[in-house]
Amino acid sequence: MNCLYAKILDDLYYIGANDRQTTLFENMWPLPEGVSYNAYLIRDEKTALLDTVRINKVDGFVNKVLEVLDGRKLDYLVIHHMEPDHSGCITDILKLFPDLIFVGNKKTKSMLYDFLELTPDDDKFIEVKDGDVLDLGKRQLQFVMTPMVHWPESMVSYEPNDKVLFSQDIFGGFGTVDGAIFDDQADYNIFRSETRRYYSNIVGKYSMMAVKAIEKVKQLDINIICPVHGFVWRENPQTIIDDYEKWANYEVEDGVVIVYGSMYGNTEGMADHLATFLAKEGVKNIKVFDVSKTHASYILNEIWKYKGLILGSATYDNSVYPNMYNLLNVLKYNKIKNHVLGIFGSYGWSGGAVKDLKAFAETGKFDVLETVVEARGTMHKEEEEQLRLLAKEMAEKLKEK
Ligand code: FEO
């Protein structure tokens, strides 16, 4: 049945599902370690379900909702976010509890029709704005709008008595919850990279809005964070707040990511030489990726982490190598900034790759290194020395604070 269950506090329950079957999140992003969809249920004078899970987990989820309700009816279904990984079971829940009242904002209401063809009457939908409160009895939910993190209708809610933040996508990550539902039950370092890959690929393009959302929630006194993916943070919620704040502000660490596109090894050879020269210059964190082999989501994840980025490309039909072209689009789309950028490539018989990489460099907010290396065909002694110079320039830039 694959439905997870845990008591967080008296009458506050985690009910979520691990998804190890779906191979691509949003049908794009590989999920080798799966993903969890988290929902929460409050039993008070009124009962409230906070979000649902993706439809492929409906059976176990519905059973768990019924089990936790223990014969009571569901009064409210709070919708923090309408993306189908969380709204997927709304229709099934409504069939079970036709008298339930939806709680969402104005955009949520229109999306209920857009995505699920639901048109609740005014007395079946409580429309909330920033600061509005839903009274459940002993507990209340205060609503905070967090538009574009991740969708325009995205919002979070805060329970002030127990200081619990229901944060929807914010503070979430890839990876199933394997036995450990709470942060104190596992080593977050095992999950940190998958959490950053989730942030950089799913939320990263909206980082400006994420900064605003984090500023808003930081005003709250938080004991527990309940996101819709990944751990419930009850021991050290500040850890995930700090990580998200760092990623949203494009704060980077010392290190260099080299990404190359190469058909027959000439450009790859230049990348390997560069990595060696960087190591000789004392750069400790060096990651080299073949753009044709590693999925862009992993490359973006490492680029999000490290300050240095060096792109190398073979020329393919007078242009940058097609798989590198795809990566450039990913970087443009995600508005990558605060990076030192180096460029190298192979001219082939016509040139084009380096020209395209230079044009890309002009589209973003990069600190572009002066030395650009272009080999005609394979690398010769002259280009080797230029690569040494490029590595030196990068190492010096990393030392600047
Ligand atoms: Fe996890 Fe934007 O949905």
Closest ligand 1 atom number to CA of residue 169: 1
Q: Is the pTM of this model over 0.85?
A: yes
Handedness of CA 41, 164, 217, 333 (dihedral sign): negative
> Is residue 83 within 6 Å of ligand 1 at its C-beta?
yes
Quickly list DSSP for 237-302: HHHHHHHHHHHHTT--EEEEEEEEE-SSSHHHHHHHHHHHHHHHTT---EEEEETTTS-HHHHHHH
What is the C-alpha to C-alpha distance for residues 132 and 97, in angstroms, rounded to an integer? 24
Ligand 1 centre to CA of 332 (Å) is: 22
Question: What pLDDT does 2 receive?
Answer: 61
Amino acid at residue number 6? A
378 phi and psi angles, rounded to 5 deg = -85, 165
What is the C-alpha to C-alpha distance for residues 143 and 159, in angstroms, rounded to an integer? 9
Three-class secondary structure of residue 179 per DSSP: coil
Ligand 1 centre to CA of 86 (Å) is: 7
CA-closest candidate to residue 290, choices 308, 267, 316: 267
Three-class secondary structure of residue 69 per DSSP: helix
Three-class secondary structure of residue 54 per DSSP: coil
> Is residue 153 within 6 Å of ligand 1 at its C-beta?
no
CA-closest candidate to residue 130, choices 152, 160, 156, 161: 156
Question: What pLDDT does 308 receive?
Answer: 98
Enumerate residues 6+ apart whose C-beta is below 8 A from 344: 267, 270, 271, 274, 310, 311, 312, 354, 372, 373, 374, 375, 387, 390
Q: Is 374 exposed, middle or buried (0-12, 13-18, 19+ CB in 10 A)?
A: buried
Enumerate residues 6+ apart whose C-beta is below 8 A from 90: 52, 77, 79, 112, 116, 118
> Is residue 169 within 6 Å of ligand 1 at its C-beta?
yes
Nearest residue by C-alpha to atom 1 in ligand 1: 169
What is the C-alpha to C-alpha distance for residues 324 and 302, in angstroms, rounded to an integer? 16
Place of tokens 């016509």: 350
Low-confidence ranges of the chain (pLDDT < 70): 1-2, 401
> Is residue 229 within 6 Å of ligand 1 at its C-beta?
yes
- Beta strands across the sheet bearing 101-104: 4-9, 12-19, 35-43, 47-50, 76-78, 101-104, 125-127
**Contact, 299 vs 269, CB < 8 A?**
no
**Contact, 304 vs 204, CB < 8 A?**
yes
**Contact, 174 vs 295, CB < 8 A?**
no
Q: What are 101-118's pLDDT values in tens digits? A: 999 999 999 999 999 999
CA-closest candidate to residue 150, choices 86, 83, 50, 51: 83
Handedness of CA 209, 41, 237, 182 (dihedral sign): negative
What is the C-alpha to C-alpha distance for residues 258 and 346, in angstroms, rounded to an integer? 15
Closest ligand 1 atom number to CA of residue 228: 1
> Is residue 150 within 6 Å of ligand 1 at its C-beta?
yes
What is the C-alpha to C-alpha distance for residues 274 and 288, in angstroms, rounded to an integer? 10
> Is residue 53 within 6 Å of ligand 1 at its C-beta?
no
| Longest CA–CA separation in the chain, Å | 78
Nearest residue by C-alpha to atom 3 in ligand 1: 83
| Element spanning 372, H or E | strand 365-375
Enumerate residues 6+ apart whose C-beta is below 8 A from 171: 225, 227, 230, 233, 240, 241, 244
Rg for the chain, CA atoms, rounded: 24
Ligand 1 centre to CA of 146 (Å) is: 13
Ligand 1 centre to CA of 151 (Å) is: 8
Question: What pLDDT does 364 receive?
Answer: 83
> Is residue 86 within 6 Å of ligand 1 at its C-beta?
yes
- Please state, as a whole number, how many other Cβ atoms lie within 10 Å of the Cβ of residue 287: 18
